[in-house]
Chains A and B, each alone.
Chain A
């Protein structure tokens, strides 16, 4: 390890599906409290990378270290409990439950079967739900059934559900997909607010949005890292231009 404190430390990571290497010998380091954006054309392996980190897909080779803990062999829920939160590409919320319940269920206690049976919605939980709901702008919709929210609100709700867990590493897969211009702006503000005190990995296609939030950008292509640096560096990189325009 270098002098800098890495939160996430990925080395030689490879995963192959029937011989096709979706991630190919990838190295990636994410600093503490860094907001990293990953971009890349379709099929570059961005979502697969998140799947690997959160344990949804098992790596064929290589290591993923989160705060010096090896993640590749651990079960999904243990990875989450160690402090990794992940938002899915399509809003993944419990449509039949109220907004309040969605957030309450995500509160990180009572996670075992017996714990969940004995879980009490204490003052602390309620306060936390209220705080998170205000953060994501849904404080006036707590009693609403989540299925009735608009697409953008659903995305925020899922981010809120992750915030309930206070993850140290938050991974968002295309958080602004399908959002209106106004919603994008609000989301950018939200991300800037919540990235304080935690590391974040965001996958995004929208370049304007990336420019708004990112300090450091990683470009992926065919399971490998093509370039890394500030947005301007990356955009002037001939290889990146080739990948984006040449196909």
Chain B
């Protein structure tokens, strides 16, 4: 919060870290797969993106990285965002070490045709130390645990000096101890003024975020989790995948979990 000036005139609000207005996205110019997204995030805030598989979470991230050009609407991101895919989607058989992956962040300097410099290497090692993996820098990425792999991707984002981080299901398949460590890192990054956008299936974890966004081919809800996670919003987001755990009948926020229906 920027304090108001002494004489009472309001200060100019800080420029948002991420701003999306009237956004519609499609693949190959077809009909929109995601429509009507409007959101704005200040620096140092966190957003939880909820939605079913195919609901548009990853599609939104692809627009924020610039990979997908909007059909309609505008997208603003402060600097070049880091994108952390689910680590199962990366190539686990690839012959790259944890250090090699962290070093990929230095490609953000735009000189991808040059070998890494000594300063890049130092930055990569410092980032691995920051995520607690300095002793594992020579281990092949695919041989690390799920939580360690996620931390290596965070190190890559640190080397990239990204001010906005997009994380796809960062805690999927991560054991609880590693999960706590990763969430502590998230808080540190946020305290440094970085903005985190995290997609997840875990409705309950959304409460820990500053904002929540519900997507199901269009924007269902956006706002403070204490008010946005209503039964109506969750049911429109997840359909019959949602199980509401406790509802006081006031139409306000509820606790709920999603269940994956397996069709045989």
Report whether chain A binds chain B: no
